Structure 1
Amino acid sequence: MANGQYFESLLSISVYCDSLSGISGDDREEDPVVADLVTAGRILFTSRQASHVVTPGRICIRDTKASWEFYCEPATRVRVVTIPRHLVFSRAASPGSVTGSYLADVSTPEVRFLLNFLEAVEKSRDDLHRSASAQALAADACTALFSGMLFDQRASAIQDHPNATVTAARNFIEKNLGSTRLSPAMVAQNVGVSLRTLQRSFSDADDTVMAFVRRRRLQSAHAELRRLGGTARISEIAARWQFADASHFIRNFKATYGSTPASYLRNLGGRGTAE
């Protein structure tokens, strides 16, 4: 179910959908730049270079020349805005200065400005439909906003604040702990900084990206073990949290918690198996 408006080259619609999956983009220059602002539910976008989980109160802007797989949870509500790709990229200083996607909270000043602009467009729809020049101005303004968010000023701003980089990286890692593809390069791409900047930011916090990932995976496995108790299967938990095998999980668990998972379960009054 969708409703909205289209004029000049700007499309703005509100969409409600049940569980839905598909592919957005087909490697064509005419594929648009798309913004998805989620107000309920959740959307997962995945491409060869990045993966984004868009939850309520967040916006994701994507260049759909690259194909993105997507999955919408049931009862998802999203505001979708599209602009032709060539208009957005024509404003880039160089092709390398634009990232393929942008993820942010609605509290971000740029996103608040975009939302205020779209609200003004909605209120002025009658005037816009009567004036081709007004439509062109509105489309041009939206194009400038999209390109400004995709340009690498965003990365520069994050690089100036190492703590913000670490916070953003940890938030992304938390949402992707179970992914087999999770890596420092993937985190850097989604946060919008270079791999070197990401690693330096974690080093300043006396940590490394993968050390944080391993700690959080082990903590998540520990929490699942407690929750399942006697019904827990250690090999399944190890696989779910991306340990190489059950033996690797057992060694890490014992080093951190002082006992093997099986002994830990017995102490809880349950029983487990390493099979």
Structure 2
Amino acid sequence: MHNRYSTHLLPQRERQDYWREVIENAYFPLELDFRNPSEFHGHLSQWQMGRVGISRMESSATCFTRVKQQIDESEPYFLITVPAQDQVRFSQANRTIVCNPGAFILERSDLPYEFSYSKDNALWVVRVPVSLLQTRIRQPERFLYMEFDKSKGMGNVFFSFLRTMVQQASYTNEVAHDILSSQLIDLLAHSMENDDRVLMSNEANLRNVHLRNIEAFVRDNIQRSELSPDMIAVACNISTRYLHKLFKDSDQTVGQWIKELRLQSALNDIRAGNRHTTLAEIAYRWGFNDQAHFCRLFKSRFGCTAREMREAK
């Protein structure tokens, strides 16, 4: 799906209200403050690739504010913003970051924030459901409020792939869109996880290397029902005791993280809408040997059964 919106042919007096409606439909409710209302212009192109939304926006200087009263989402999102023309300023949770062209930042949609640029600007925005990114990155919140380089290395590969997806969107079908969006998230994760500041943050580099190895092994083996802390420890050449110690500072144990990863992956499959795949097949695909146990866990986690979730689509 590709939509285009522009103020180009509208009278100047109608442009602000029109643009507010465009932004709300493309993202979510926001308050807009136009820095030069009498000369405002805007253009937005939007693509839906599976559950990932991609947009390119060009507009006059604007301040976007997300207030608490506007936050009522059943599915929160991460936003990856890539300024292409001039710097942007982002403030959230008492943190402020300036992102320059040649870089990108990660933001949360379900917290109040202020986002602005003081000159005409062009930017790419990728909208990813929180649950989808969490199946690829453990605790993606640790990457918030950091500026990541897109000019070289994995950041450049991520951004180049993003543009290629958009260029080929009209030549690819929905099945391909799901595959491509999954690969885009993989590239995003690699570009952030391989940032030197992330590798050297918090504790010694060795601890972070162990965590990266653990996360990679679990992602590669999450479909195996026998996956366990002991198996992970052996594969990563650490003791089970040390494995649990590495997770001590997080809000989940190893077992809880694996269960959450499996449930979120199953949820993503159900939301993808492939009716030819049974719920039992989805359960087994993500390491649940007992379908009844899967159904109980799913309802406890998401407040409805897997069947109800599928029928609600």
TM-score, reference length from structure 1? 0.50
TM-score, reference length from structure 2? 0.44
Answer 1 or 2: higher relative contact order, Cα 8 Å, separation at least 6. 1
Higher Rg of the two aligned structures:
1
